[in-house]
Structure 1
């Protein structure tokens, strides 16, 4: 039996960031898996997602709005954390790492938007449309509201594009929880540097059956922002709901491979729940 990889960085916990039209609830099926493996996790609600109307009243939703909220969340941990970003959350997660590189032990993109500085996801889709069928993903199904400033996802489209391989009852519940998204919170472009963002270890979990961020687009982003440890999971756009235990093991094993462990006692992060 080979020796376990040495831990070079101890993480105080995980910060979980949901994608567009979602909330902290998007991680509910995954949290018990990570807790069983010893991780302390905080799943946040991004500003403007409907979870805290009083907090968000009159607030302009920008990339900086997200980074400010995530900075507050990350500072609640006593030490660097692993930042896990699903889908569109990849953009604010990257900018968070640029802003607070000393507080981010690792970035994990789950079917996420790992884009280079200055590029928006719509630009990537437009550039790929000729050779990637259905590259637009959910976009053709969106309902535009409030004079084009907000979008919403119809439940039927969510079930077909996001949740097609998730457990039936859980998929229905997730589709019903989706909330309108301000477009200013989706059309985001980062400003990144090699000295700050570029020094953070990254893991990319590609979803092989994704109908939203299609696999060819995931792989184009990996090529545009090279250096991530890439792992694959055979499911659609929401691995944390479709295959939570498999995703948890995959993530923990990948962290162990790059030498990131749980803060506190012990030699390595667990890859399996205690028996």
Structure 2
């Protein structure tokens, strides 16, 4: 199982994986970086696209592959990956969350943020900086805020380039909530990649999610919110190690289960 579907987070696109893709290929994997609908990708506008559209986008990509694939989800892409895994567990080899939203069933990231921000204002992340349309159907990230919150540990030129590539984000997918069961999503191998210096999904939030959704392997990177930009080589090594462990285990025992 060498196919890897890369799922970007809010305001981003497939470009966020550009530095990681060749590193995975060098290790014998076949990465597929998706552009989710609504972020100026696909046919739907930011006002029209919802969570189900993004889930369907990933499921369509899965259907075009010959066998089970790994999902790698960054940030808000984690909620989409969770729902896809619940819907299609037989199509999933394992899931890796990169500073991602690995949430309990029926829980939205906004619920967690509201709880944490009462004692740690930094948990608000990018929220206070967003620019909304009049009906709050989509939001935009000012480049300076994107640079400071998402890419503060990335070299200056690529950090600004990434911040300026951020696109309007439909609120429907961003507010999506996954519903999953222990028998389907819960039985799949998982990896959580912590980002110690994350200013968007702060470390406290990342570790709360690991506690509430136990069973994942954990790896730690000393980066901000986007390790695929700040430290792609190390992230590639961590992901490849996880894929190899799952593949080795599946050759011995084809049943899904925690590592």
TM-score by length of 1: 0.87
Matching of residue 27 in structure 1 with residue 17 in structure 2: yes
Cα RMSD after superposing both structures: 1.5
Contact in 1 for aligned 2:71/2:92 (Cα 8 Å) = yes
- Secondary structure of the residue that 1:124 maps to in structure 2? helix
Equivalent residue for 1:37? 27
For residues 30 and 62 of structure 1, the distance between their equivalents in structure 2, rounded to whole angstroms, comes to: 27
Equivalent residue for 2:5? 15
Equivalent residue for 2:89? 101
* Equivalent residue in structure 2 for 1:260, among 220, 231, 247: 247
Measured at CA, do residues 57 and 213 of structure 1 come closer, stay the same or move farther in structure 2, by a change above 3 Å? closer
Equivalent residue for 1:173? 161
Higher relative helix content: 2
Equivalent residue for 1:137? 125
Contact in 1 for aligned 2:2/2:28 (Cα 8 Å) = no
Contact in 2 for aligned 1:84/1:107 (Cα 8 Å) = yes
Aligned pairs (5 A) from 1:114-263: 114-256=102-244, 258-260=245-247
CA deviation vs aligned residue, 1:158-201 (integer Å, no higher than 9, x gap): 00000001122111111111000111111111110111111111
TM-score by length of 2: 0.92
- Secondary structure of the residue that 2:122 maps to in structure 1? coil
Contact in 2 for aligned 1:110/1:206 (Cα 8 Å) = yes
Q: Which has the higher contact order (CA 8 A, sep 6+)?
A: 1
CA deviation vs aligned residue, 1:36-91 (integer Å, no higher than 9, x gap): 11110100011101023xx2259832221111111101111110001000000000
Equivalent residue for 1:68? 56
Equivalent residue for 1:46? 36
For structure 1, list consecutive stretches of 5 or more residues without a partner in the other structure.
Answer: 1-10, 264-275
Shift of 1:253: 1.8
Measured at CA, do residues 83 and 62 of structure 1 come closer, stay the same or move farther in structure 2, by a change above 3 Å? same
Contact in 1 for aligned 2:52/2:173 (Cα 8 Å) = no
Shift of 1:241: 0.5
For residues 46 and 164 of structure 2, the distance between their equivalents in structure 1, rounded to whole angstroms, comes to: 25
For residues 46 and 77 of structure 2, the distance between their equivalents in structure 1, rounded to whole angstroms, comes to: 22
- Secondary structure of the residue that 1:260 maps to in structure 2? helix
Rg larger for: 1
For structure 2, list consecutive stretches of 5 or more residues without a partner in the other structure.
Answer: 251-259
For residues 56 and 173 of structure 2, the distance between their equivalents in structure 1, rounded to whole angstroms, comes to: 13
Contact in 1 for aligned 2:96/2:190 (Cα 8 Å) = yes
Contact in 2 for aligned 1:162/1:236 (Cα 8 Å) = yes
